[in-house]
Structure formats: C-alpha cells, structure tokens
Amino acid sequence: MGRTAGVIGLGAWQLGGDWGDVSEGDAHATLQAAVDSGVTFIDTADVYGDGRSEQIIGSFVKDKPQLTVATKMGRRVPQAPENYTLDNFRAWTDRSRANLGVETLDLVQLHCPPTPVFSAGAVYDALDTLVAEGRIGAYGVSVEKVDEALAAIARPGTASVQIILNAFRLKPLERVLPAAAEAGVGIIARVPLASGLLSGRYDEHTTFAADDHRNYNRHGEAFDVGETFSGVPYEVGVAAAREVRSIAGTAPTAAFALRWVIDQPGVTTVIPGARTVEQVRGNVAAADLPPLTDSQLSDLERLYDERIRAHVHDRW
C-alpha cells in the first residue's frame, strides 16, 4: 500500500450510524482525540450513515496528510455477485472520493461481498483498473469467513484483509495470519472488543438504543450476525467477559483485550470504534500495556475453548 499505519487505528462505523446518534461535533472531537493520541489510520465505509461517516471524516482530514483513510464499498446494493463490476466500482469510488474530498482514495476494501466475489478474476481485474486510473491507491477486502480471506490473499494485488479478530474469535490465527504474513498482505483487525463485550462494561441488564445494531441485529436480522458481539450469544459473552476482566488483573479490560490483538503476529493495525474522547484515549492506551503473560494467554485460550468455541469457530 506504500503507507504506514499505527498499530491502533480508529473504526468509524460509530460516527455514521447503527450505534445510536453521534453529533457531528462529537464526531469531530473523537477524531481529534484520535489524532492527538497518535492514531494515523481511520477506517470507514460508504454505507456508514449512507455516506455520513465519510463526509465527516472528509471535512476533518483535508489538512492532515499524515492520516490514511480506508473506506469500503459494495453494501449499498443488493448482495449479488453480478453487481461487482467495473462500472459500479467506478460509480461507488466516485461517490466516496466526493464524500472524502480526495482525488485518490488511500485504500478501498470490498465490504464483505458474497463469497463467490472473492474468487472472481474479473473483480480483481476491475480493482487493478481503479488503481491504474488513479481512483484508488490500493485495494483490499473485508471478510466474514476465513476461506474468503485466503482466497483474497492468493491474489497478487490484494494489499490488506480486514477480519474479525479478538479473544472471542481465534480462528484467523490458524491460517489467515500466517498466509497474510507470507504474502506480505496487511491484516486489519476489526470488532476487536466484540461490539463492546470485551470492555467488561455490560451485564445481563444492559439495554441498547433501537437504532443500535447490538439491539436489532443480535440474530443476524440486518447483516451477518458475526458483526454483532462477534456472533457470540449475548448472555454467553457477558459471562465470558467477566472472566476476561479477572484475567486482566489491574489492566483495564478493554485495553487488555486490545493488547491481545496487538500481540498477534501479523496484525498490521487494530481498529476499535469509539464514540467519545474517553473511549479513544482508553483504546490507544492499550499500546502502552506490557504484552500478556503466558499465564494470561493460557487462561484466555481455556476460556475460549470452554465457553466460546462451540458458538463461533466452525461458522466463520
């Protein structure tokens, strides 16, 4: 990709929608706190708030050339492989270029398209064309499944793979991270706190707003259920998160969970979301924690095997 990214980035889904209302002023304050804390990589998508997240970021970054902004495309149309064409790619990236106020998008990722798209040579040819035309600097994919990631990694033009990776989703460690490292493909770890479960702040009585996906997508009603609480049933996740909090000891639970992701060989950047200045600062502080001890790593593996594996491992 030719650009560097700090190990802690910022996921900007929250700034567009689906997590409750965030004002433009609060969004700008969150972005500024991220930059002040050393964040250099921001991840968004054209579908977050139907362009609102891109527009807010575009108004913020125009005088900050040190920032790399990754966006995603493909989820604003019916999810059929035949919609992933060069003409549509041009239209989608033109819209994102306008939203972000740039001539060339730093990184564009296919946004969890249907599985056959990852194996279609014409799709990668079209993406190569976008690079040649100067519309995008580089391209990658965002995936739900391990096999989708492996298909993309096998293509020589793929710069990055974005995948769910956290202490409740260990499967990418087996094949995806090693394959990406061998191919020189970056790994962007998303949903690193399992939609907040791994912050340790939720219990069985926590409620979420009607327009928050943690309310309306718990069973995959709107999109892949793996995007909400990493696919872990809420009550199971809450109980497991209590154990994570105990394993973390004196470290803040969220920062501890992010430190686990940072420590995984092959991870390029991790993109926790944030809606407030305090959340940004807490996320970035994870980079200052010491690596997890062997005992802590062993305890997390045991917890995964006992409580989480049956719910997620073979599904994605």
Give residue limits of the domains in the chain. Answer: 10-312
| Cβ atoms 208, 269 nearer than 8 A | no
Q: What is the pLDDT of residue 235?
A: 97
The whole-number average pLDDT for the span 50-63 is: 93
Q: What is the pLDDT of residues 59-102, one digit of tens each?
A: 999 889 889 999 999 999 999 999 999 999 999 999 999 999 99
CA distance 301 to 312: 14
Alpha carbon 184 to chain centroid, angstroms = 19
Give, in order, the Cα–Cα distances in Å from 280 to each of 77, 167, 190, 254: 32, 20, 15, 11
Instruction: For the sheet with 10-11, list strands across it.
Output: 10-11, 41-43, 68-73, 107-111, 139-142, 158-164, 186-190, 267-270
Instruction: Determine which of 13-17, 93-97, 185-189 has the lowest per-residue pLDDT on average.
Output: 13-17
Class of domain 10-312: alpha beta
User: With bands split at pLDDT 50, 70 and 90, how would you rate the model's confidence at 2?
Assistant: low
Residue 3 has pLDDT above 60, yes or no: no
pLDDT at 17 over 70: no
- Express each pLDDT in 109-164 by its tens digit: 999 999 999 999 999 999 999 999 999 999 999 999 999 999 999 999 999 999 99
Q: What is the mean pLDDT of residues 285-308?
A: 97
Q: Which residues pair with 158 in a beta bridge?
A: 139
Alpha helices in the chain (DSSP H): 24-36, 52-61, 86-100, 121-132, 146-153, 176-183, 213-216, 234-248, 253-263, 277-284, 294-303, 309-312
pLDDT of 5 reads 66
Write down the pLDDT at residue 4: 58
The token duo for 44 is 């968004």
* Token digits of residue 84: 């992933």
Q: Which residue has the tokens 């491992």?
A: 313
Tell me, what's the pLDDT at 23?
Answer: 80
Q: Taking all residues of the chain, what is their mean pLDDT, rounded to a whole number?
A: 95
- What is the Cα–Cα distance from 224 to 16, expressed in whole angstroms? 19
- Given a cut of 80, whether residue 18 has pLDDT beyond it is no
pTM (two decimals):
0.95
What is residue 171's three-state secondary structure?
Answer: helix
Alpha-carbon distance of 18 to 103, in angstroms, equals 28
| pLDDT tens figures, 221-259 | 999 999 999 999 999 999 999 999 999 999 999 999 999
Burial 60-89 (b: 16+ CB within 10 A, else e): bbeeeeebbbbbbbbbeeeeeeeebeeebb
- Would you state the structure tokens that stand for residue 292, as one six-digit string? 């997890």
Q: Is 133 helix (H, G, I), strand (E, B) or coil?
A: coil
* Dist CA 12 CA 136 (whole Å): 19
